[in-house]
């Protein structure tokens, strides 16, 4: 009788560990994926996820198959919560990822190593051809924040930009 109660209790005690292991990414990620690097991107000098109730303005961004963002240079004020309204005007998929240059470089390398990787992070937006989407971000400190498309080859072809936080 005691053995039959022990197994369910043991399984229930493992649930918090299993739930944490999934992080905020989809299950398409490799088990060895560096979650610490992703946390650096979402909780750093680049800012933090914003709330819809705090949006101070909207900035439209277009992505295209020329591997460019329009605009690629953006100015915001420290403390502002911005809604980026993003349109993929291209015929192939693109994404917009906000973070430090270092974190974007690390994640771009992971994308090259695992090209089928899917995202589900608050600092990322992936769009197929003709799709539109939004991303809300609060800029907490003055400085520079980078953004890029991290699909293999896109960033290297020039699909990147900079946000100046004043």
DSSP code at position 51: -
The answer to whether the pTM exceeds 0.75 is: no
- pLDDT for the residue 17: 33
- How do residues 139-166 score in pLDDT, each as one tens digit? 999 999 999 999 989 999 999 999 999 9
pLDDT at 114: 72
Looking at the predicted structure, is the pLDDT value of residue 120 above 50? yes
Burial of residue 111, with CB atoms counted within 10 A of its CB: 0-12 exposed, 13-18 middle, 19 or more buried: buried
Is the pLDDT assigned to residue 121 strictly greater than 90?
no
Highest mean pLDDT among 34-43, 78-87, 103-112: 78-87
CB 90 within 8 A of CB 134: no
Print burial letters for 27-47: b (CB count within 10 Å at least 16), e (below 16). Answer: eebeeebeeebbebbbebebb
């Amino acid at each position: 009788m005691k053995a039959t109660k022990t197994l369910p209790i043991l399984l229930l005690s493992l649930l918090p560990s299993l739930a944490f292991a999934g992080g905020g990414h989809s299950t398409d990620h490799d088990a060895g994926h560096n979650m610490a690097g992703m946390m650096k991107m979402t909780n750093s000098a680049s800012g933090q996820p914003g709330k819809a109730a705090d949006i101070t303005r909207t900035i439209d961004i277009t992505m295209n198959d020329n591997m460019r963002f329009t605009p690629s240079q953006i100015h915001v004020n420290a403390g502002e919560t911005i809604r980026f309204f993003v349109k993929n005007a291209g015929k192939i998929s693109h994404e917009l990822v906000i973070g430090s240059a270092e974190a974007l470089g690390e994640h771009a390398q992971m994308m090259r190593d695992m090209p089928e990787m899917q995202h589900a992070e608050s600092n990322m937006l992936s769009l197929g051809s003709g799709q539109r989407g939004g991303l809300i971000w609060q800029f907490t400190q003055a400085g520079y924040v980078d953004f890029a498309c991290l699909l293999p080859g896109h960033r290297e072809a020039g699909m990147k930009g900079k946000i100046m936080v004043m």
